[in-house]
Amino acid sequence: MMNLRGGIIEPTLAAIARKKNCDKVICRKCYARLHPRANNCRKKKCGHSNSLRPKKKIK
C-alpha cells in the first residue's frame, strides 16, 4: 500500500488552479460553468439565461 502524502501547493500554481476551477460563474438554470464576467449563459438549452450566481468558494 502506498501512503498518501499531502503537501504545500506553490502559490503561483495555486493561483492558476483557482483561476481555472474556482473563479467561475454558474448558470442557475443549466448549471453551466461560465467565465467570471459573464452576463448571460452561452447555452441554448436554458435560453441564454441571465440568471447567474458566483461559484461557491471552497473552505
Per-residue pLDDT tens over the stretch 28-44: 999 999 999 999 999 99
The predicted pLDDT at position 44 comes to: 97
φ, ψ for residue 33, nearest 5 deg: -90, 120
Contacts of 50 (CB under 8 A, 6+ apart): 39, 40, 41
Residue 5 pLDDT grade (very low, low, confident, very high; cuts 50, 70, 90): confident
Domains in the chain and their CATH numbers?
A: 24-59 (4.10.1060.50)
* pTM of the predicted protein model: 0.77
Supply 5's cell numbers: 502524502
Closest CA to 55 of 39, 43, 32: 32
Burial of 41 (0-12, 13-18, 19+ CB in 10 A): buried
